[in-house]
Structure 1
Amino acid sequence: MSYIKTYIHFVWSTKNRFPFLDNKELRQKVWYHIKENATEKGIFVDFVNGYSNHCHCLVSLGADQTIQKTMQLIKGESSFWINKNKLCLDKFEWQDEYFAVSVSESMLDKVRNYIKNQEQHHAKQTFEEEYEEFMIKYNFPKE
């Protein structure tokens, strides 16, 4: 029997980084739904949280799961669910793009804590500032 443990930290934003998820109660409802729906689809979401315009999700991929398919299932279904339940005044959409990076087992607690503390983190730094800092730190090309 194969033993596979591949953790991926996903981050994605709302369309045009619009703050659709503008209150804590709404965010918690969405994060809970993402985790519950992922479980139904056989996706193990270790931790999920975010802020008004983005989501962080720590996922342990199974042997037959790809990054692309996992994102398609999580983002597509949650967007559909948010709109079906009229949780936002305007039509809700996630941005097409996303960020995905592997996480070593030794860093899991650090990543979980980072995801857990999104509310406090973004009281000090916007998602845009964090994104820009990340792009510079890892020498990614500008958009």
Structure 2
Amino acid sequence: MGQSLVEIYVHLIWSTKERIPFLNDNYLRNQLHAYLATACRSRDSPAQIVGGVEDHVHLLCRLGKSTDIAALVRDLKRETSKWIKNADPPCGDFQWQQGYGAFSISPSHLDKLTQYIAHQEQHHETLSFEDEFRRLCVKYRIEIDERYVWD
């Protein structure tokens, strides 16, 4: 086959360090989400949607054919950390947690997940980030060690 064709979607999730609510300002959060979308596009992994609440981010993107997920997340977190520390007003103490979650998504589930990410504020009125992440890990049959998953 002379052409490489890839259609892989991934749902990425990561939080602020110790879930400190650095992103409680809606304007700052929306700017961060736009910045993440632009950064994904520049890495040949266009974001379908970026969302989240004051202490974490959800990002649904289509991976580029040569994209390494770990490198993508590392670069996105590094760039956004620099950006947010220089935002107006600056968040000089801002940090992301070390880890992340990456979950594969079937194209047939994109609409449902897009709606889920779009309604994060309503969703988190009754569910913590930790419980949400635990539920996703159960759904994907991923065992987590509670001693190390939260930082």
Q: Count how many residue pairs are aligned between Structure 1 and Structure 2.
A: 143
Matched-pair contact (CA < 8 Å) for 1:30–1:82? yes
- Larger displacement relative to structure 2 (62-71 or 35-44): 35-44
1:82-129 Cα offsets, whole Å, 9 max, x none, are: 012254544111101000010011111111111111011011212122
Q: CA deviation at 1:36?
A: 1.6
2:51 and 2:59 in contact (8 A); partners too: yes
Relative to the length of structure 2, the TM-score reads 0.86
Of the candidates 21, 24, 49, which is equivalent to residue 22 of structure 1? Answer: 24
Indicate the SS of the match to 1:68.
Answer: helix
- Unpaired stretches in structure 1, ≥5 consecutive residues: none
Residue type at the aligned position of 2:78: G
Alignment of 1:46-61 (within 5 A): 46-61=48-63
In 2: Cα distance, 1:51 partner to 1:76 partner: 19
CA-to-aligned-CA distance 1:7-35 (integer Å, 9 cap, x gap):
00000000111111012222111101111
Q: 9, 12, 15: which one pairs with 1:10?
A: 12
Gaps of 5+ in 2: 147-151
Superposition TM-score, scaled by structure 1 size: 0.90
1:92–1:8 Cα change, 3 Å: same
Q: Could you tell me whether the CA contact under 8 Å between 2:13 and 2:59 is conserved in 1?
A: yes
Matches of 2:40 and 2:8, distance apart in 1: 16
Counterparts of residues 1-143 of structure 1 (less than 5 Å): 1-136=3-138, 138=141, 140-143=143-146
Question: SS in structure 1 opposite 2:124?
Answer: helix
| Deviating more after overlay: 110-119 vs 31-40 | 31-40
* Aligned amino acid, residue 42 of structure 1: D
Task: Answer yes or no: is the 8 Å Cα contact 1:26–1:87 preserved in 2.
Answer: no
Q: CA RMSD in A?
A: 1.7
Q: Which moved more, 1:86-95 or 1:11-20?
A: 86-95
Distance, in Å, in 2 between the alignment partners of 1:84 and 1:90 is 7
User: In structure 2, the residue corresponding to 1:124 is in which secondary structure?
Assistant: coil
Whether contact under 8 Å (1:9, 1:101) holds in the other structure is yes
Shift of the alpha carbon at 1:135? 4.3
> Which whole-Å CA distance do the structure 2 matches of 1:125 and 1:76 have between them?
28
